[in-house]
């Protein structure tokens, strides 16, 4: 007996030591990653300083204030040099990341790309434009971390197709931006590189998962960025940070998420300060080079005629999806934009998106958690879970029976536990689930066609949440998630800011039934006076140019106020 007890005691001690060593190893890897980042920042700061010793900074503000279309014109005619523009943005990006922690890494090879574009005979559409890219968009020699320790070991062996095309068009990728751990969050925090803050208010989140992009561009440290969107990850940071962002039809710029689970088609798209910048980026990417490098991308060049058209549009609109009521200011934005569009000669038609609660609790959730969240949990193996993600991770870990009981006890509409029990329990059930998505998509398109709509105007989640709150309100993303399930192109345009009157009205907000989730939303968005307020613009699949044209119309009318 004593020998057995000694053996048991020894085994327990060995297990404790093993776990302790494992944690130490994880901490060491994270510290090394942070050190590498910090050293990269210092090198870049030194390079900027050396450049400034040669070239004075009297043009800095003028360069940073130029819209993308004007900047490309100045670079192409030679009145500005790509080198001056690059170092101006590098200098500004260093400043913005000190305030917001938005950068994961500078790309030192930007200097090589600078030399490369000057050797080209033809100047591409993005000649000399510094471009920032989201953490996980592959760049040769750099990590795609997704905020995970397991991704810190293997740098990319080659550029992703997207980066190759950007470079061929003369762009200079210069920085990789921070993301939430595993990308499955619309906050922007991970245990390796920390929390990214909103440049307008350090108490607020920049949104996610393209939150580093949102903060960098909104802070003025980048003029054009590439994000990705699997549930709102381009549109939510654009809403929170007052930017324009486009989620195309996923296959228009096809890109595979480098994670062991890919629940929805992952769309990549541009983020910038104005709609013309998004259009130029799409035009540059949808080129012969893209179609040759990735034959699975449909060879459909950008249709300039559709984007430039001024034909009046037939616009469907709604200010609530019947699932998660948004704050008063976001609904106000839709109403004001609707009135402005009507006054400008467009035809407005009220619509009601069908069965959004069903989409959220069945279609979206079963897509993400078909296996009860096991594949998602696997990405955290040998990792520290970010505190912002712990509620979701712990929910997934619960036994199925416990989840069912909690789902019965809690309000079914927005309970995260419902999400975790909506699993597909057989292959047949999974096939049926895919079929149900197609059925819903067909019904939505049929309603669209019946009403003879060109585009749809609707709300987007906002204004910016206080940091930490996105993890408590996964269900609040129904406004964006709907168009991931449908795989429609959707973009966000800032049209207003939060007023004192909005803040007063928020005090009366009760949401669905003044339950804990409604009260949490109220806390998340309070204290937002002066922060951006946006709307969402949607078109049918493959109609990115029409979506952008509508976004441009909304932008023009909002600026004319």
Beta bridge partners of 316: 349, 456
**Cβ burial, residue 157 (10 Å; 0-12/13-18/19+):** exposed
List, for residues 491-516, the tens digit of each pLDDT value. Answer: 999 999 999 999 999 999 888 777 78
Token pair listed for 280: 């130029």
Residue 254 included in any domain: yes
Report the number of distinct structural domains present in the chain.
3
> How many C-beta atoms lie closer than 10 Å to residue 509's C-beta?
17
What is the maximal distance between C-alpha atoms in the chain? 89
pTM: 0.95
pLDDT tens digits, 543-559: 999 999 999 999 999 99
Q: What is the pLDDT of residue 413?
A: 45
Statement to judge: residues 264 and 395 lie in one domain:
no
Please confirm whether the linkage preceding 499 is cis (ω < 30° from 0).
Answer: no
Q: Is residue 158 part of a domain?
A: yes
3-state secondary structure of 314: strand
**Mean pLDDT of all residues in the chain?**
92
Is 12 inside a domain boundary? Answer: no
246 and 362 inside one domain: no
Burial of 286 (0-12, 13-18, 19+ CB in 10 A): buried
For residue 417, the model assigns a pLDDT of 44
Same domain, residue pair 332 and 353: yes
Return the structure tokens found at 276: 């013309």
Cα radius of gyration rounded to whole Å, the chain: 24
Q: Is 189 annotated as a binding residue?
A: no
Cα separation, 303 vs 290, in Å, equals 16
Residue 480 CA to residue 460 CA, distance in Å, equals 6
Report in angstroms the alpha-carbon separations of 555 from 262, 485, 511. 33, 26, 28
Over residues 68-109, the pLDDT tens digits come to 999 999 999 999 999 999 999 999 999 999 999 999 999 999
10 Å Cβ neighbour count for 402?
14
Do residues 362 and 375 share a domain? Answer: no
Domain enclosing residue 150, as ranges: 37-296
Rounded to 5 degrees, φ, ψ at 246 are -125, 125
79 is in an annotated binding site: no
Question: Is the CB of residue 132 less than 8 Å from the CB of residue 215?
Answer: no
Domain boundary among 423, 440, 460: 423
**Is there a single domain that holds both residue 448 and residue 343?**
yes
Structure tokens at 275: 């709609």
Q: Is 230 annotated as a binding residue?
A: yes
Residues 361 and 507 placed together within one structural domain of the fold: yes
User: Is the same domain home to 363 and 376?
Assistant: no
- Is residue 232 a known part of a binding site? yes
Query: Could you read off the pLDDT of 181-206 as tens digits, one per residue?
Result: 999 899 999 999 999 999 999 999 99
Residue 530 counted as an annotated binding residue? no
CB 334 within 8 A of CB 535: yes
Same domain as 377, residue 462:
no
183 labelled ligand-binding: yes
161 and 280 belong to one structural domain: yes
Active centre residues (catalytic): 134, 209, 233
Whether the predicted pLDDT of 415 surpasses 50? no
């Amino acid at each position: 007996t004593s020998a057995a007890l000694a053996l048991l005691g020894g085994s327990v001690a060995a297990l404790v030591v093993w776990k302790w060593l494992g944690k130490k190893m994880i901490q060491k890897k994270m510290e090394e990653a942070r050190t590498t980042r910090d050293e990269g920042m210092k090198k870049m700061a030194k390079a900027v300083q050396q450049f400034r010793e040669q070239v004075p900074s009297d043009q800095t503000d003028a360069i940073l204030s130029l819209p993308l279309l004007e900047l490309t014109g100045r670079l192409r005619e030679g009145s500005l040099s790509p080198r001056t523009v690059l170092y101006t943005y590098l200098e500004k990006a260093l400043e913005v990341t000190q305030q917001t922690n938005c950068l994961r890494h500078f790309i030192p090879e930007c200097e090589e790309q600078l030399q490369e574009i000057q050797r080209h005979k033809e100047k591409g559409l993005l000649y000399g434009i510094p471009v920032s890219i989201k953490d996980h968009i592959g760049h040769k020699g750099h990590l795609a971390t997704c905020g995970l320790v397991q991704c810190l070991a293997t740098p990319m062996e080659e550029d992703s197709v997207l980066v190759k095309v950007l470079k061929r068009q003369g762009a200079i990728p210069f920085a990789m931006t921070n993301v939430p751990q595993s990308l499955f969050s619309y906050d922007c925090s991970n245990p390796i590189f920390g929390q990214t803050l909103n440049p307008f208010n350090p108490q607020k989140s920049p949104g996610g998962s393209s939150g580093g992009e949102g903060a960098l561009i909104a802070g003025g440290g980048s003029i054009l960025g590439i994000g990705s969107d699997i549930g709102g990850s381009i549109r939510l940071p654009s809403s929170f940070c007052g930017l324009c962002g486009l989620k195309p039809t996923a296959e228009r710029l096809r890109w595979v998420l480098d994670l062991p689970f890919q629940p929805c088609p992952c769309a990549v798209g541009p983020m910038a300060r104005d709609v013309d910048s998004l259009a130029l980026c799409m035009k540059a990417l949808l080129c012969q080079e893209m179609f040759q490098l990735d034959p699975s991308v449909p060879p459909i060049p950008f249709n300039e005629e559709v984007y430039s058209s001024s034909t009046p549009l037939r616009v469907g609109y709604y200010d609530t999806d019947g699932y998660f009521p948004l704050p008063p200011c976001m609904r106000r934005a839709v109403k004001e934009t609707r009135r402005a569009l009507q006054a400008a000669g467009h035809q407005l038609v009220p619509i009601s998106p069908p069965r959004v609660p069903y989409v959220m609790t069945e279609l979206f959730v079963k897509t993400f958690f078909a296996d009860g969240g096991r594949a998602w949990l696997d990405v955290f193996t040998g990792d520290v879970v970010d505190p912002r993600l712990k509620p979701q991770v712990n929910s997934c870990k619960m036994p199925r029976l416990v989840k069912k009981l909690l789902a019965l006890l809690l309000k079914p509409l927005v309970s995260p536990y419902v999400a975790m029990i909506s699993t597909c329990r057989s292959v047949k059930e999974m096939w049926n689930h895919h079929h149900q998505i197609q059925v819903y998509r067909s019904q939505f398109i049929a309603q669209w066609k019946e009403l003879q709509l060109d585009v749809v105007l609707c709300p987007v989640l906002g204004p910016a949440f206080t940091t930490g709150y996105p993890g408590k309100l996964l269900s609040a993303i129904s406004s964006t998630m709907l168009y991931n399930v449908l795989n429609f192109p959707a973009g966000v345009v800032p049209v207003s800011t939060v007023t004192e009157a909005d803040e007063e009205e928020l005090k009366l907000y009760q949401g669905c039934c003044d339950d804990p989730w409604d009260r949490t939303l109220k806390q998340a968005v309070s204290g937002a006076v002066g922060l951006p307020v946006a709307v969402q613009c949607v078109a049918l699949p493959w109609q990115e140019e029409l979506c952008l044209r509508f976004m441009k119309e909304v932008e023009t009318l909002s600026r004319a106020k």
